[in-house]
């Protein structure tokens, strides 16, 4: 009887440890930094400058989950044609593709200027592209990756943007709004987001917005403090309004969550 009792206790301890382990998935990352330059052509100082800085997942999750996350990150950062590539290969191929695109477009523009009887001005053909990505702190076996990009291809200023991606840490699957919320969630979530909009920006920025009754747009990140929706430039306001981020605490979303 004593041995049987001990067996039950040990089995219970093992089960408790298994349950605890199920909720402790954690992504282990390493930093990947790449600075790349390509001259437009011989004799020109104009060049493409491409800088990439990523917090990249390397371990910590089941193999299938890691593979799913890798594929979705590579696809979102570089393009669907790179989905099956590892990160180093994807970066190399992306650099080649961007260089070809840069030289094709700028050389065509350069020839067009010459056909009009003018000589291209040095510095007119410099392109700058930056890609930054990092993981936010996990929350309830989910974790968001925030991707920030900037591109300058001439003109008065470049354009920046942000994209949120949230993963289930057990499967590595991307999580959408429909996965998180009950049906018919949009009217109430829109009301909550609109209520938090004004406190999320300065008074001047708020007055400049051309949409003040905002709706969920599918571009979000999650963290222990709440859920943050991201509205890029021109989405709800002019360029000067910048990127608008509206955070809603979890307690205000309880009635909407699955």
Please indicate whether residue 122 or residue 114 has the higher confidence score (pLDDT): 114
Task: Judge whether residue 222 has pLDDT over 60.
Answer: yes
Burial of 61 (0-12, 13-18, 19+ CB in 10 A): buried
Which residue spans of the chain are classified as CATH 3.90.640.20?
Answer: 176-258
Q: What percentage of the chain reaches a pLDDT higher than 70?
A: 90
Compute the average pLDDT of residues 94-121.
86
CB 109 within 8 A of CB 121: no
User: Domain 176-258 belongs to what architecture?
Assistant: Alpha-Beta Complex (3.90)
- pLDDT, residue 204, reads 96
CA 52 to chain centre: 13
Q: What is the pLDDT of residues 149-181, one digit of tens each?
A: 999 998 788 999 999 999 999 999 999 999 999
Specify the 3-state DSSP secondary structure of 72.
Answer: helix
The DSSP result for 175-235, as a single string, is --HHHHB-TT-HHHHHHHHHHHHHHHS-HHHHHH-S--S----S-EEEETTEEEEEE-TTT
26-136+145-169 under CATH 2.40.160.40, yes or no: no
Number of C-alpha atoms within 13 angstroms, CB side, residue 108?
6
Ranges of CATH 3.30.565.40 domains, the chain: 26-136+145-169
For the record, the structure tokens of 116 come out as 């009009």
Angle made by CA atoms 41, 42, 45, in degrees to the nearest 5: 75
Across 93-118, average pLDDT: 88
59 phi and psi, to 5 degrees?
-165, -175
């Amino acid at each position: 009887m004593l041995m049987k009792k001990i067996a039950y206790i040990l089995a219970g301890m093992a089960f408790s440890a298994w349950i605890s382990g199920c909720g402790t998935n954690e992504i282990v990352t390493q930093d990947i930094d790449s600075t790349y330059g390509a001259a437009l052509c011989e004799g020109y100082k104009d060049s493409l400058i491409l800088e990439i800085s990523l917090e990249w997942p390397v371990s910590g999750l089941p193999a299938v989950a890691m593979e799913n996350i890798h594929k979705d990150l590579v696809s979102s950062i570089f393009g669907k044609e790179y989905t099956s590539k590892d990160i180093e290969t994807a970066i190399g191929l992306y650099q080649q593709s961007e260089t070809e695109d840069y030289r094709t477009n700028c050389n065509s523009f350069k020839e067009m200027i010459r056909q009009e009887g003018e000589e291209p001005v040095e510095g007119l053909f410099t392109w700058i592209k930056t890609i930054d990505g990092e993981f936010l702190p996990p929350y309830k076996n989910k974790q968001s990756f925030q991707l920030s990009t900037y591109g300058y291809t001439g003109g008065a200023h470049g354009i920046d943007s942000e994209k949120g991606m949230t993963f289930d840490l057990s499967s590595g699957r991307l999580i959408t709004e429909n996965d998180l919320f009950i049906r018919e969630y949009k009217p109430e979530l829109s009301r909550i987001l609109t209520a938090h909009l004004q406190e999320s920006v300065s008074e001047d920025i708020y007055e400049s917005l051309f949409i003040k009754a905002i709706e969920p747009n599918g571009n979000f990140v999650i963290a222990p403090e709440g859920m943050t929706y991201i509205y890029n430039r021109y989405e709800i306001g002019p360029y000067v309004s910048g990127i608008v981020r509206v955070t809603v605490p979890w307690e205000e979303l309880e009635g909407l969550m699955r």
